[in-house]
Amino acid sequence: MKPGHNGKGWESADGPGADPQLNDLYARPYLIQAPAEQRVPFVFASPHSGRIYPQTFLRLSRLSALSLRRSEDAYVDRLFFGVVGLGAPLIAARFPRAWLDANRAPGELDTSMFDAPLPITVEIPGPRVAAGLGVIPRIVRDGADIYRTKLAPDDAERRLVLHRRYHAALSLLVQETLDRFGTAVVIDCHSMPSVAGAPDVVLGDRYGTAASNALVRQAEQAFRLQGFSVGRNVPYAGGYTTQLYGQPKRAVHALQVEINRALYLDEEPIEPFENFAALRERLLGALNELTKIDPVLLRTRNHLRVAAE
């Protein structure tokens, strides 16, 4: 425990109460699965499928472990694992979204969650922070409050170390892809709660600012060829990852892909349906078609010419 702190909200992986799960996350905050040779200018990322819950976090929470898991994009990393066989790398956060959200900006912090001023830069609170879904979430996806007490300010900085490491690794994959192919595409992989009338897949390009129309059209066609219904930007237009990496003028594109959980997941016990493998094959078929896009369509010169026309 930090000397002088009241002990109510301090996470520590040191001393008699050492937390092996927390130590594991600091040792390996993410996993990268990569082909022997990258053959396509795509990088796949899964920021919300982490399922290693620190014991210190569970003790701070008022919720059950199952309730905390409702914030996960459960098994999305496994759904998209086949992209490695297509010649693309996949990076997946190992830490859980309820503990730290890698798809939020590091300054999206709710200062009311902490028992003293934060020692780091905090952004002006936006709607996501106000809703309790900042980089350190206050609630889980179903709206229940996570914590039984306020947190120690140093906890924010300790967790954000892993946020920086995840994005440093993703940024390196993107830069290596750009250097190799002259273009790079980040596919940010998510799942969405099953809601009546929702499409099977929602593509988010931040209303045309994060990816070229050619890429989004290719994605729509690829998913529809596999029998998926497809929506664009509603209700998910893309988060921090899409905003940060989506720079079409630099020939770097970012597209968020949301898979409807009704297709593959029993949301009560958070267990895959028996059709999980079959759904994964359909998804892989769509991604295979998507990654066949001509890289020339994604490079800066072509993008600017199309925009000018």
Please write the tens of the pLDDT for every residue from 42-76. Answer: 999 999 999 999 999 999 999 999 999 999 999 99
Is 13 within the bounds of a domain? no
Q: Which residues pair with 154 in a beta bridge?
A: none
- Report how far residue 232's alpha carbon sits from residue 203's, in angstroms, rounded to the nearest whole number: 5
How many separate helices (H) and strands (E) can be counted in the chain?
10, 9
Where in the sequence is the domain holding 245, given as residue range(s)?
20-308
- Please report, as a single letter, which amino acid is at residue 87: G
Q: Indicate whether 6 pLDDT > 90.
A: no
- Residue for token pair 């770097």: 252
What integer best gives the mean pLDDT of the chain? 92
**pTM of the prediction?**
0.92
What is the side-by-side order of every strand in the sheet holding 42-46?
30-33, 90-93, 42-46, 184-192, 252-260, 201-204, 230-232
Short-list 100, 5, 12, CA closest to 56? 12
Asked, for residue 209, whether it belongs to a domain, the answer is yes
CATH number assigned to the domain comprising residue 262? 3.40.630.40
> Does 141 fall in a domain?
yes
Q: For tokens 């889980």, name the residue.
A: 140
Q: Which residues contact 16 (CB under 8 A, 6 or more apart)?
A: none
The more confidently predicted of residues 246 and 5 is: 246
- β pairing state of 265-266 and 252-260: unpaired
Structure tokens at 202: 């929602």
119: confidence class by pLDDT, cuts 50, 70, 90 = confident
Does 160 reside within a domain? yes
Examine residue 4 and state whether it is found in any structural domain, yes or no.
no
Give me 120's structure tokens. Answer: 């780091």
Tell me, yes or no, whether 15 lies in a domain: no
Query: What pLDDT, on the 0 to 100 scale, is given for residue 196?
Result: 85
**How big is the chain by its Cα radius of gyration, in Å?**
20
The vertex-61 CA angle with 58 and 265, nearest 5°, equals 75
pLDDT tier at 17 (50, 70, 90 boundaries)? low
Residue 179 to residue 256: CA distance in whole angstroms: 22
Is residue 132 domain-resident? yes
User: What does the block give as tokens for 112?
Assistant: 């009311």
154-198 pLDDT, tens digit per residue, is: 999 999 999 999 999 999 999 999 999 999 999 999 999 998 889
Beta 201-204 vs 252-260: how paired, if at all? antiparallel
Which residue from 91, 92, 86 is spatially nearest to 37, judged by alpha carbons? 86
Distance of CA 272 to the CA centre of its chain: 19
Give how many domains the chain has, as a whole number: 1
- Residue 283: name the closest of 249, 265, 250, 257 by CA: 257
Strand partners, 230: 201
User: Is position 12 within any domain?
Assistant: no
Closest CA to 163 of 25, 32, 52, 18: 25
